[in-house]
A and B are shown apart, each in its own frame.
Chain A
Amino acid sequence: MPGLKLTSMIVCPRTMKGRDETVKPIITAKNLCKYYKMGEVTVEALKDVNLELYESELVVVLGPSGSGKSTLLNIIGGMDKATGGELYYGDTPLHRADSNQLTFYRRNDVGFVFQFYNLMPNLTAYENINLSVQIAKNPLSIDELLEKVELSDRRDHFPSQLSGGEQQRIALARALAKNPRLLLCDEPTGALDFNTSIQILTLLKDFCRTYEKTVVIITHNTAIAGIANRVVYLKDGRLDRIEENQNPLPPERVTW
C-alpha cells in the first residue's frame, strides 16, 4: 500500500517550523478513490489518495495529463463526489454531504479559478465580482480587489472587451471576493503568456500570505512548483510523492 506509506512520510510544514504538532489540517483525504464505469471498462481516475491541506500553505499539484489532478481538485472543491474513501473539511465529512450541503460548502469556503475564465459574458468586470460578493458571508471589498488586480479602470468593461490575462484576473478577484478559506486553481495560467502568468501567480501567493488562506494550483509547468510550500506529484491516479520546499521562490523569480 504505497499510499499509506506515503502518508506516514508526510510531514506537516508547520511542525517543520517548530509549531504545534496538533495543528489541524483543513482538508483531510483518506484513501480517496474515483472510478468511472464505462461499460466493460472501469477507469480509475483516483486510487487511494491520502492527502492533508493546511492553513495558509500554497500547494502545487503536478502530474502528466490524465493522472487525475482535476479529478482530485474537483472532489476537494465539492464539485464532484468520490467513489470511495473519506474526505473531511475540518471535521465535516464531505464524503457524506448531499448536493445541497456541497453547494453551501462551495458557497462559503471554496474559491475556484479555471484555465478558461468562465466569466459571465453579459456582466461587467465589477458585476462579475459582485455576483459572488452577493452570496458571500463576509466578502472582501470589490473596489479593493479591483485595485489589487490593477483593473480598477476597467470595472465597467464586459469580458469580451478584456484580454485573456485581464479576464483571468477578474476571475481570480471573483473567487477571492467571497473570502474563501480554500482557493483551488486548475491550470490558472494554462492559457496565458509568461508575463501574465507571473502576474497571476504573484496574486495567488499574495493572497495565500496576507489572508492566510490555502491555495492549491494545478499546473503542467514544473517551473511553477518553485513557489509552492509543498509539491504533490500524481501519477496514474495515485499520489506518487510529496516534496517540500524549505524556501519557496517569490513568483517574480520564476522563469521558464
Chain B
Amino acid sequence: MLWKKMLRDLNEHKGAYIACMVIIIIGLMVFTAFSMMLENLQLSQQTFYKNQNFADGFASVEALPFTEVKKLEELEGIARIQGRFVTDVRVLFPGREDNVYLRLIFLNADEQNRINDMLLLEGKPLQEGDMNILIDNKFYEANNLGLNDKLEIIAAGKRRELYVSGVGTSPEFIYALRTAADFYPSPESFGVAFIPLQTLQTLLPDKNTFNDLVFTLEPGVQYDDVEKLLEYELKPYGLRSLIPRDDQTSHLLLSEELTGLESMSTAVPVLFLSIAAVILYIVVQRMIEQQRGQIGILKALGYTNKETVFHYMSHTMIIGLAGGIVGTLLGIALSYPITNLYQMFFNMPLLKGEFSTAYYFIFGILLSLAFSLSAGYLGCKKVLNLEPAEAMRPPTPPGGKKVWLERIPVFWNTLTVQGMMSVRNISRNKGRSLFIFGGITFCFAISCFTWSMNDIIQKMIFDQYEKVETYDLKISLAAPLAEQRVLGELRTFPGVRQLEAMAEVPVTLQNKWLKKDVQLLGIAENSGLYHILDKNGREVAPPKDGLLLSERLAMLLDAKPGTMLNVESILHGSGSWEDKKLPVAGIIPQYLGLNAYMDLHALQEFLEEDGLTTSVMLSMDEGTIPRLQEEYRQSNLISNMDEKGERIRKLNEMMESFGSMIYLYSLIGIILGFSIIYISSIITTSERSRELASMMVLGMTPPEVLSVVTFEQWFISILGMAAGVPLASLFMSGISMAMSSDVFTIPPVISTYSYLMAAAVTVLSIWIAQKFAGRKIRSLSLVEVLKSAE
C-alpha cells in the first residue's frame, strides 16, 4: 500500500525529482567517464613506459665520442645509458610552403632492448646499413605517408632521401612538441624518426659523436643521487642540459593532464552529487512537513518508525538508484569516445580491455545511493521523534516577523507590499535561502573565473606578440656566431627594415638552495623589436649591471631586487664552471615563458664572449619573409626560423580547444544556477500555494504573484553574486598557482569583462528557471487550494 503512496508522491514532486536525477546523472557520468579514462590512460602510460624502457633521465651534450658511453654505464646508480645523435632536419614536401621538421634520432640499430624504443606498429624494425627510417605514426598519418615512401630532407645543406620502412610510437614523444615554446603538437609539421647510426656519417659528414644521452636508474636509486656524478662526468663534453624524467616535456605535460583529470573526476561529481543531495533533502523535508497528519495516522495505525522512515527514504533511494544506473551507464558509454579524443593529443597505444567497468558501475551506483540516502535520512529523521498525537495536530502556523532591513527606511519604503513579503520570506526559511545564496555564489564564481581565464590568457598571450615581441621573424642560429657577421649579412637582404642581434643563453640561476634553469635573454639597448614591460605596461631598459627576472622566476628563486644570484652558464667563454654572481636589478611580469633579461653587450661581457649572438630578430616588409626563408632554408647555420604570424595562428588553434573547456565550465555554472532556482521555485510555490492563491483571488496577475517569489530570489542572488566576487578571485589564484608553469604564467586577476559575462550567465540561468517555474503558478487551481483548511 505504501508503495502506491510512494509512487503518487514521486509523481507529485516529479519536477524536483527529475531535476535532481539529471544532476545526479551528470555527476556520475563525469565520474565514470573520467575515472575510466584516467585509469585507462594511467595504465597505458605505465605499460608503455615499461615496455619501451622509458628513460629516467635525459642529458644533452656538445659532443661525446661513441666509445665513452660504455664507461658511463659503470657509474654507480646508472642501470643503462644509451647515446644518440639528435638533430632536426627540414622535410621538403612538394608543393608545401610551410616549414616541416623531422627530428632524426640516430641510434645503434643493432642494440637490443633500447631505452625509449619506438613501439613498432607497422613495417619492419630498424636495420643498420641502409637509409631506412622508423617514423612516428602521427606524422605518418598527418602527411598521408605510406610504407617505403621516400622523404626528401635537407641535411648539411644537401638534399637527401630517406625511406620509410616502419611506423612506430615513442614514449618520449607522447606529447610531441618541437620546442618548449610550442603549446600544441602539430603532427603535420613536426615528426620524429629513428635512423641507424651508420647513416650519420653519410648525412652529416662532420658529425661523429653523440649529442644526446638517455639513461635508466638501478632500482631504488633516485635521480638526485646520480645528478652530481653525471654532471661531473659530462662537463668535459660540453653538457647542455641534464634533466630527470619529471622535467621531460612530454612526460611533464602528460602527467599534468592526468593530475588535472584526476581532480576533475572527483571534484565535479562530488559537487553535483552534493547539490542533488541538498535538493533531495529539501524536497523530503518539505514533504514530511506537508504530510505530518498522514505520518501521525501511519503511526497511529501501528506502523513502526523504521517502516515510516523507510517509506520516506525509499523516494530518495529510487532517485539515487535510477540516477546512479543511468549516469554510470552513460559514463561508461562515453568513456571510450573521450579516451579516443585524448589520443589526438597524447599519442600512445591505449590498452584495450574491460578494465574495471563493473567496479565503476557498482561504485558509481553506491556513491549515488550514499549521497541520496543520507540526504533522505537527514530529511526525514524528524519523523522518528514525532508522536502520533502531536503529528496529527497541525503545525504551528508560520508567524510573521520583522526583519532588520526594515530599520533602513530608505530601502524599506521603496518596496511594494510584495517586496516586503519577499524580504521577510528570506528569513522565513533560512536553510533554503542559504542554499540559493551558496548555489548562486558558486555559479557566479565558476562562470567568472572560467571567462576570466579565457579572457586573460587571450590578452596576455597576444600582448606578448603585439607589445613585447614586435619582430616579424626570429632566426635562431645553430651555434652562436659573432654579432657583426650575422647582422652584416642579413642587413642587406631585400625587405629587411630593422634587425637586432639577441642572445638566448641557457643558464642555471641559484639563490641559496633554490635553483632554476632558464634562458637568459640578452636584448640590445634601445631595442625596437623586443620591449620589456613593467607591471604598468611601461617599457624598461634591459639592465647593464644585473638581471631582470620574471615575477614567477623571482618567486621560485625567492629573489628580490638586490638579491645576488649565482649564474652558471655552459656558454661561458672561459669554459670554466666557476660560479659568477649577478644582482637582481628588477622584477617584471611575464606571462609567456620564463626568462631573465639583461643588456646584450653587458651579457656578452659577463660571459667573456665578445659579440656572442644566438638569434636575430627582424622586422620585414610585408610579403618578403618567404623569400628570406627560402634563401636560408638550406643553411646549416640556422636551426629555426620562427615567424610570428604562424605562431599566432597556432596559438589561436590552442585557444579554440581551450574555449570548449570554458564552455563546459560555463555550462556547469548554468545548470547549477538553473536547477537551484528551479527547485527552490517549485518548492516555494507548493509550500506557499495558499498565499499565492489568495493573491490571485485578490486579482493579482500571475506575474505579479510570481514577483513575490522572484524578488526574493533576485535579492538573495544579488547578494550571492556579490559574494561570488571574492570566491572567484580565490578560485583564480588557486588555478593560477596550479596551472602556471615554465611555459606560461596565469596572472591571478579577473577582468571586468569576465565579471559582466558571469553576471549575465547567472542572471540568464535564474531568469530561465523562473520562467519555467512560473508555469506552475499559472496552473495553480484557486478553488482547490483554498477549499481546505491549512
Contact = CB atoms under 8 A, between A and B. Distances in A.
B697 A112 contact: yes
Contact of A121 (B399, B697, B698): B399
Contacts of B789: 116
Interface stretch (B279-287, B420-428, B505-513, B645-653): B420-428
A132 B695 CA distance: 8
B700 interface: yes
Nearest to B693: A118
Interface in A93-148: 99-100, 103-108, 110, 112, 114, 116, 118-124, 127, 130-132, 134-135
Given A121-B397, A121-B400, A127 B697 contact: no
Contacts of B704: 135
B332 to A, nearest CB: 44
Contacts of B398: 121-122, 160
Contacts of A104: 699, 701
Interface string B514-555: 000000000000000000000000000000000000000000
A34 B698 CA distance: 23
Contact of B691 (A112, A120, A178): A120
Interface residues of A, number: 36
A123 B420 contact: yes
Contact of A131 (B417, B696, B778, B782): B417
A158 interface: yes
B699 A108 contact: yes
Interface residues of B, number: 33
Contact of A120 (B694, B697, B778, B790): B694
A127 B397 contact: no
Interface string A145-171: 000000000000011110000000000
B416 A134 contact: yes
A56 interface: no
Residue picked from B696, B699, B701, most chain A C-beta under 10 Å: B699
Given A103-B700, A122-B424, A134-B416, A158 B694 contact: no
B787 interface: yes
Contacts of A100: 701
B426 to A, nearest CB: 10
Interface string B373-410: 00000000000000000000000011111000000000
A106 B786 CA distance: 16
B7 interface: no
B58 to A, nearest CB: 71
A92 to B, nearest CB: 15
Nearest to B399: A160
A70 interface: yes
B147 to A, nearest CB: 76
B358 interface: no
A80 interface: yes
Contacts of A108: 699
A123 B417 contact: yes
A107 B787 contact: no
Contacts of B397: 121, 159-160
A35 to B, nearest CB: 14
Interface in B755-790: 778, 782-783, 786-787, 789-790
B780 to A, nearest CB: 11
Nearest to B694: A118
19 contacts: A70-B787, A79-B697, A79-B783, A80-B782, A104-B699, A106-B699, A112-B697, A116-B790, A118-B690, A118-B693, A121-B398, A122-B398, A122-B421, A123-B420, A124-B400, A134-B417, A158-B399, A161-B400, A178-B699
Interface of A: 70, 74, 77, 79-80, 99-100, 103-108, 110, 112, 114, 116, 118-124, 127, 130-132, 134-135, 158-161, 174, 178
Interface of B: 397-401, 416-418, 420-421, 424-425, 428, 690-691, 693-702, 704, 778, 782-783, 786-787, 789-790
Given A80-B782, A104-B701, A116-B790, 4 more contacts: A80-B783, A120-B694, A122-B425, A178-B698
